[in-house]
Structure 1
Amino acid sequence: MKRTWDDSLALTEFAYNNSYQASIGMAPFKALYERKCRSPIHWEEHGDKRILGPDIIKETAEKIKLLHENLRVARSRQKSYADRRRSALEFKKGDFVFLKVSPSKGKYRFGVKGKPKPRFIGPFEILERIGEVTYRLALPPNLAEVHDVFHVSMLRKYVYDPTHVIEYEPLTIDKDLSYIEEPVKIVDRREQRLRTKSIALIKVLWKNHTPKEATWEREEEIRNKYPNLFSQG
């Protein structure tokens, strides 16, 4: 009988739960039950072979060994990828970096076409390396309430250039490194025709974003949230 991929799901779960996990220093099964699980490989020692039959035991044992090996290869591959990214994003004390901040969720809707990308503020000096992938930054007084240790994924390296002048409008950053977007002006209008009705859309330019990052929004929603935007003439 031809077997499908889901026939091995139970064995996959069994192999995973009995595989060593570096994050907890043992297999999940042992962490939960404080003992090793008796696998089919050892069933012969307890007389189970007479009950289940040698063919089933052999097939199950071979599958478990294969799944263990596949999990080991997958973990090795993931570690290799993580190490490559980590080595490419290492910083040292005295380096200057930009810090990623994102628009605050739930304050407005970017649902029609795209949304503004996260911004980077700074540059800030790295004071010390805390762990393999975390760094402490020298933050200015206006960010005093923000925790000053950040994961490397939040940082972008800044290469000093004496001719480089950084021009940007200050952002009001919350503790969670988010900021509230403010619309600047309406740059375009159009209608989206549906089967039974039409929806009025406007293209909005947002503060601290370039014209290329302007987004299409429902006019009704923007009018309700930002009525002053429509009184600018």
Structure 2
Amino acid sequence: MNHKIDVIRALLKTAQDRQKSYADKRRRLIEFNEVAYHMELPEELAGIHNPFHVSYLRKCLADNSMWVPLNEITLNNKLEYVKDPVAILDEKVKEIRNRRMRTYKLQWRHQKGSECAWESEEFVLEHLPSLHDAWIAGTRSGPSGGEL
């Protein structure tokens, strides 16, 4: 009985070796590039998942005026960046289907120039009433108003 088992094992090993040699001759090594990097984060941001994919990288031209200190950034419970409005820069009234909609151009903290956003009057009144009141007071007193 043991002799039969040894013969079967030998035949199986021969067949496996034959298949392996056949496969090894035709196998190409596939090389994968490293596409994920790990950021070194300070302890305050320990809850953030630190690996990121290279597709998130963008060309950066160093501009010291755009640098934001870490202690000035506020995060909410979900570790999302909280944007703070600084000023209302402009006001526009749109007419859509016989309805007038007032929108305000908001300047957000740590964002420059084209990074302003137009928000509806309802949003500004609900979330930023003090900013709206300052804008109204500034527009009535002259063109220099609008910023806090």
Q: State the TM-score, normalizing by the size of structure 1.
A: 0.37
Change in 2 beyond 3 A, CA 1:178/1:229:
same
State the AA in 2 paired with 1:230.
Answer: H
- The separation in 1 between residues aligned to 2:117 and 2:100, in whole angstroms, is 19
Deviation at 1:174, TM superposition (A): 5.5
2:106 aligned residue: 204
Change in 2 beyond 3 A, CA 1:167/1:183:
same
State the AA in 1 paired with 2:115.
Answer: E
State how many pairs are aligned.
102
Q: Structure 1 vs Structure 2: percent identity of aligned residues?
A: 32
Change in 2 beyond 3 A, CA 1:202/1:165:
closer
Find 2:90's aligned residue among 164, 169, 188.
188
- The separation in 1 between residues aligned to 2:131 and 2:104, in whole angstroms, is 11
1:136 aligned residue: 38
State the AA in 2 paired with 1:215.
Answer: A
Change in 2 beyond 3 A, CA 1:193/1:216:
same
2:67 aligned residue: 167
Find 1:146's aligned residue among 34, 43, 48.
48
1:80 aligned residue: none
Deviation at 1:203, TM superposition (A): 0.9
Superposed, which structure 2 residues align to 1:69-108 within 5 Å? none
Do the aligned partners of 1:186 and 1:202 also contact (CA within 8 Å) in 2? yes
Q: Which structure 2 residue ranges, 5 or more long, are not aligned?
A: 1-31, 138-148
Is 1:221–2:120 an aligned residue pair? no
Change in 2 beyond 3 A, CA 1:184/1:219:
same
Deviation at 1:187, TM superposition (A): 0.6
Deviation at 1:189, TM superposition (A): 0.8
Deviation at 1:204, TM superposition (A): 0.8
Deviation at 1:218, TM superposition (A): 1.0
Deviation at 1:166, TM superposition (A): 6.8
Do the aligned partners of 1:147 and 1:175 also contact (CA within 8 Å) in 2? no
Do the aligned partners of 1:146 and 1:176 also contact (CA within 8 Å) in 2? no
Do the aligned partners of 1:146 and 1:175 also contact (CA within 8 Å) in 2? no
- The separation in 1 between residues aligned to 2:79 and 2:55, in whole angstroms, is 14
Secondary structure of the corresponding residue to residue 201 of structure 1: strand
Q: What do residues 69-102 of structure 1 show as CA deviations (whole Å, max 9, x unaligned)?
A: xxxxxxxxxxxxxxxxx97xxxxxxxxxxxxxxx
Deviation at 1:195, TM superposition (A): 2.5
Higher relative contact order (CA 8 A, sep 6+): 1
- The separation in 1 between residues aligned to 2:87 and 2:119, in whole angstroms, is 12
Is 1:230–2:117 an aligned residue pair? no
Deviation at 1:146, TM superposition (A): 0.9
